[in-house]
Structure 1
Amino acid sequence: MIRIAICDDEQRLRKELRKVVERSLQLKGRDYQLQEFDCGEALLAELSAGSIDILFLDIEMGQLNGMDTARLLRKQAPETLLIFVTSHPDYVFQGYEVKALNYILKPYKEQKILEVLDAAIAELSEEPEQSFLVKHKGGQKRLLVQNICYFWSERRKIHVRTEEEVLTFYGKLNEIELEMPDCFVRIHNRYLVNINFVQETGTEYVSCAGQSLPLSRGNKQDLHVAFAKLLLE
């Protein structure tokens, strides 16, 4: 899930930027959440409730301008990718102080928005690889999440399958599901699969990493939506 925010005191320009950003993300099949703020004060208040991955920030706003907002933001959210939007290119050079990723000039040009958005998403994708620690009978092992094909439960035991091996440990599938990124989809009460290893979906089964796994009626829609998004990427 990519969390995006647009902070601009001009509603029309917020809507214009939002329309381009959302259309691009939807065409890419990306999961996202997009929020709008009309002032820096409202944006900074929201940061206490969680992080924002990508922020489009207007420099020329009311009492708290964009540059002052950015300085305060860096104290709370140093990892947020900051993109300035402004009518005056002279302000752009101040962006180095707050580690801005890029800038967009008003009036907006759609191609520029798309280029900057793609660059920001690529920057997010370069985050360290996520891992999952398995504590099993023979000791413990750290698995790269991207190499996990699926999990399945059997009473109090959880089995995790990678392309090379199967490991067994004690745990709860519901808790593991909360830890995993969006590419992991529940297909059955006992199965959690990595959509990147799904080769085929049927009415009652899923082919994942060469194995035929059961697909429950209640999980069909989520699985088919996730699989469709994968095909669009």
Structure 2
Amino acid sequence: MKLAIVDDNEIEQEIILNAYHKESGISLEIQSFSDGDSFLNAYKSGNYDLIFMDIFLKNLNGIDIVRKIRQSDLKVLIVFLTMSSDHIFEAAPLHFFDYILKPFEYKQIFHVLNDARQILPQSKNELSFEYRNINVHFPLSKIQYIYSNNHDVIIHTTIGSQLFRLPFYSITQNLDDPRFLQCNRGILLNMDYIKAMEADYFEMTDSKCFPIKTKGRKQIREQYIQYHFLKLEEE
């Protein structure tokens, strides 16, 4: 889930969002802005799933900022954070997702994020990243494995492979999904496509094999076994 915080006291929100990430295990991409001008200069339609917007900011206020956003983006979820309820009727035509009064409790933010996840299922079902000014998306269920080769990263899916000249971590750092297992440096496997686990390697359903690193091999093998054990329990 991609989030923006537009608040002159964004540190508190970042602490809460990081706590949510640790508790839920859901990956959050967070960008913070202390004023409206810097946010609007960086903003592009589709950059974020949800924006936490303070109403009382320097120069521009949060309602004016959202009015500008709504000219090009009707989908992004807006959560106003403010000290006063006086502006709720002014904000209503902008179709905000929530309106939270400060000081707020962390549970309120958790509740908003949980609700947002219910209407943003794509945020946890896709691998997304930017490549040469293009937003790239891969359904996680279709990715079989990802691996680095020199300066390239190959993403192999059920319909073939695509190559990207990017660092491995820049593609995989936000991929926080229990079905993916890093068995070695620069190798990430979708465990749903592992056909067999041998002593020192995994064989995929397309017969490609990947080595299991020596250090931490026991833990990697246990992670794979535990994943499939839990899947059997769910069936």
TM-score (structure 2 length as normaliser): 0.62
Q: Does 2:40 match 1:3?
A: no
SS in 1 for 2:144: strand
Aligned pair 1:81/2:81, yes or no? no
Q: Report the alpha carbon displacement of residue 200 of structure 1 after superposing the two structures with TM.
A: 9.1
Instruction: Give the Å deviation of 1:36.
Output: 1.6
**Aligned CA-pair RMSD:** 4.7
Partner of residue 139, structure 1 = none
Query: Which of 105, 124, 144 matches 2:101?
Result: 105
Structure 2 residue ranges without an equivalent (≥5) = 127-137, 148-153, 228-235
CA distance in 2, matches of 1:90, 1:148: 48
What are the Cα deviations for residues 55-75 of structure 1, in whole angstroms up to 9, with x where unaligned?
Answer: 110112222101000011223
Conserved 8 A contact 1:54-1:82: yes
Within the candidate set 114, 121, 135, 2:117 is matched to 121
- How big is the shift at 1:24? 0.7
Partner of 1:150: 144
1:16 paired with 2:12, answer yes
In the TM superposition, residue 207 of structure 1 has moved relative to its aligned partner by 6.7
Q: Is the 8 A contact 1:24 1:114 kept in 2?
A: yes
Task: Quote how far apart the aligned CAs of 1:95 are.
Answer: 3.0
Q: Deviations over 1:132-175 (max 9, x none)?
A: xxxxxxxxxxxx9454362599xxxx9x776xxxx6x5x54558
Please state whether the residue corresponding to 1:27 is helix, strand or coil. helix
Distance in 2 (alpha carbons) for counterparts of 1:209 and 1:96: 52
Counterparts in 2 of 1:188 and 1:66: CA distance versus 1, 3 Å = same
Q: CA–CA distance in 2 between the matches of 1:161 and 1:52?
A: 26
Q: 1:21–1:173: structure 2 CA closer, same or farther, 3 Å change rule?
A: same
Aligned AA (1:8): D
Structure 1 spans left out of the alignment, 5+ residues: 131-143
1:71 aligned to which of 67, 83, 102: 67
CA contact (8 A) 2:46 2:73 kept: no
SS at match of 2:87: helix
Q: Report what 1:62 is aligned to.
A: 58
The reply to whether residue 39 of structure 1 matches residue 35 of structure 2 is yes
**SS in structure 2 at match of 1:15:** helix
Amino acid at match of 2:31: Q
- Count the aligned residue pairs: 201
Going from structure 1 to structure 2, the CA distance change for 1:46 and 1:174 (only over 3 Å counts) comes to closer
Secondary structure of 1:18 counterpart: helix
TM-superposition CA deviations, 1:183-217 (whole Å, max 9, x none): 56775799763355569978733476798942354
TM-score (structure 1 length as normaliser): 0.63
Number of the residue aligned with 2:91 = 95
- The secondary structure found in structure 1 opposite 2:86 is helix
Q: How far 1:82 moved relative to its partner?
A: 0.8
Going from structure 1 to structure 2, the CA distance change for 1:102 and 1:147 (only over 3 Å counts) comes to same
Q: Evaluate the alpha carbon distance shift between residue 196 and residue 28 of structure 1 in structure 2; reply closer, same or farther with a 3 A threshold.
A: farther
Deviation by residue 1:109-131 (Cα, 9 ceiling, x = unmatched): 1211111121122222157x87x
Letter in 1 for 2:121: S
| CA distance in 1 between partners of 2:198 and 2:21 (Å) | 27
AA in 2 matched with 1:150:
Q
Looking at structure 2, the residues matched to 7 and 76 of structure 1 have their Cα atoms a distance apart, in angstroms, of 18
Contact 2:55/2:63, CA 8 A, preserved across alignment: yes
1:89 aligned counterpart, secondary structure:
coil
Partner Cα separation in structure 1 for residue 19 and residue 139 of structure 2: 29
